[in-house]
Structure 1
Amino acid sequence: MIGRGEAMAQLQFGVIGHKGRMGQALEQAIDEARHSMCIGVDAGGNVGPLAGQCDVLVDFSAPDALSQNLGAARVAGIPIVVGTTGLGEEHFVMLAEAARTIPVLQSGNFSAGVTLLAHLVREAAARLGPDWDIEVLEMHHRLKVDAPSGTAKLLGEAAAEARGIELSANMESGRHGQTGARGQGNIGFATLRGGTVAGEHSVIFAGPEERLTLSHSAENRMIFARGAVKAACWLIGKPAGRYTMNNVLGL
């Protein structure tokens, strides 16, 4: 394993969820970056006994496995990057607790472009008044199981943070039938699924007689895998705490 004081050479990655789409992309990205995958764990597997062989864990598995995976990283005393989507409030409590003893980097999206998009959304939401309605539109492939996507929520959180509101209390999604007028100050979400779309996200600011749209298109999920590998390399040697892709990009 690589110590904090050593030059960063070849790192040993533990990939949780390595047989999934993102896991396969991660394996390729790790190889491209000239690092190695020391272990790969999937549903039903236990990363705990093997985590000590790794420099860093990267988790793209399922929400119900997060507690076990964080525990393995804590016992091994190594950083963990979490890209699992569909997390609830209880999972964020787990992340905060783990970050007291190890470096934890969690994100709904590891693309540099999406990270910058969230930054721009935050800037726009802070500067445009409450008469500008905010809507988040996303589309993914037909096999995606959670909605809205982790990226859509990341963008919604950026807008909500800029306006000083809680997203969970000001979120509109799944509109159908006689919904009534749009809630003043709410952030809307629309979800599309189909084909093999890697990821399309737009944040629409709809003001009086004008609109501003900020968008990002992912052409291949390798951008997320490469971003996660970059984040993992960056996380090595950092003190215990919570980190995001903003930290990696210096935003």
Structure 2
Amino acid sequence: MMTIKIAIAGSSGRMGQMLIEAVLNAPDTQLTVALDRTGSEAIGRDATAFIGTNSGVMITDQLSALKNADVLIDFTRPEGTLAHLQACQELGVKMIIGTTGFDEAGRAMISAASQKIAIVSAYNMSVGVNLVFKLLEIAAGVLNQGYDAEIVEMHHKHKVDAPSGTAIAMGEAIAKAWDQSLNEIATWSREGITGPRENGTIGFATLRGGDVIGDHTVVFAGEGERIEVTHKASNRTIYAQGSLRAARFLAQHQTGHYDMQEVLGLK
């Protein structure tokens, strides 16, 4: 069995620690690099100290350490991820990007980098969520007349972007099935006297509070019936496990830009 050498960005954060545990527990992956931001109190600590063990991998802010990895898994912030992207290109390290909130320029940088290294990027790494994307594509193809689409999402109070990247991806799946551009038919918010709902649009509602990991519901509302497709995340391990599936997928590719639909064979 081939062992995949994994680097984790944001190693002292909640998602980073979840990824580290997943890598340790998988028989075909090995933790070789643990990154954190410059100035973090975790720099110099053993990457697995939080679970009371010693891995021998010390948390560092030196991107040159990436030379010891086959693939970097990154769920940080856009500015950090793009800095890691540059280092990965220089060192020939593949990337799995779970970071959200990129602007158009950031997305273009990722696309350009995929000509040199293989990259999987997704708004959501969960296997279940990516199955929902496929279900929405099918549903929207059938419910393309006489049904209004609304997307409701809720996350913890610390999330900084809205709507969530997953909610946007759900909207894009519906819009694509309707042969439309999401930006042209999305209603991002409502306030005051808005008038009647416009046909063919996709509405978004954002909720923030508590420690909710991620709830998403898509409602197709027609005359006399309503169809709802819901995904609720109760544990961040779903993102870690999806990331490991992406790492195994990348082991078979040297360059190219892929998403989780391709990783899971849904395209």
Max Rg structure: 2
CA distance in 1, matches of 2:254, 2:141: 31
Where do residues 155-170 of structure 1 align in structure 2 (5 Å cutoff)? 155-170=170-185
Q: Which residue of 1 aligns with 2:37?
A: 43
- Whether the 8 Å contact between 2:35 and 2:63 is mirrored in structure 1 is no
Task: Give the 3-state SS of the residue equivalent to 1:125 in structure 2.
Answer: helix
Indicate if the aligned counterparts of 1:134 and 1:188 stay in contact, CA closer than 8 A. Answer: yes
Deviation string for 1:168-193 (max 9, x for gaps)? 22211221222233232111111111
Of the candidates 26, 34, 55, which is equivalent to residue 19 of structure 2?
Answer: 26
Kept in 1, the 8 Å contact 2:9–2:35? The answer is yes
Runs of at least 4 residues of structure 1 off by over 4 A? none
Shift of 1:131: 2.4
Question: 2:97 maps to what in 1?
Answer: 82
> Which structure has the higher relative contact order (CA within 8 Å, separation 6+)?
1
Instruction: Return the letter of the residue paired with 1:187.
Output: I
Q: How does 1:104-119 map to 2 (within 5 A)?
A: 104-119=119-134
1:17 and 2:10 equivalent? yes
Instruction: State the number of aligned residues.
Output: 244
TM-score (norm 1): 0.92
CA distance in 2, matches of 1:82, 1:178: 40
State whether residues 42 and 61 of structure 1, in contact with CA within 8 Å, keep that contact through their aligned partners in structure 2.
no
- SS of the aligned residue for 1:229 comes to helix
**Residues 223-242 of structure 1 aligned to structure 2 (within 5 Å):** 223-242=238-257
Paired residue for 2:159, among 122, 136, 144?
144
TM-score by length of structure 2 reads: 0.86
Listed as ranges, the gaps of 5+ residues in structure 2 are 39-59
Match of 2:230 in 1: 215
Among all aligned residue pairs of Structure 1 and Structure 2, give the percentage whose two residues are the same amino acid. Answer: 41
Structure 2 residue 205 is matched with structure 1 residue 190: yes
CA contact (8 A) 1:134 1:187 kept: yes
- Secondary structure (helix, strand or coil) at the match of 2:199 reads coil
Q: Is 1:66 aligned to 2:59, yes or no?
A: no
What is the rounded CA distance, in whole Å, between the counterparts of 1:180 and 1:40 in structure 2? 52
CA–CA distance in 1 between the matches of 2:198 and 2:9? Answer: 40
Which amino acid is 1:36 matched to?
Q
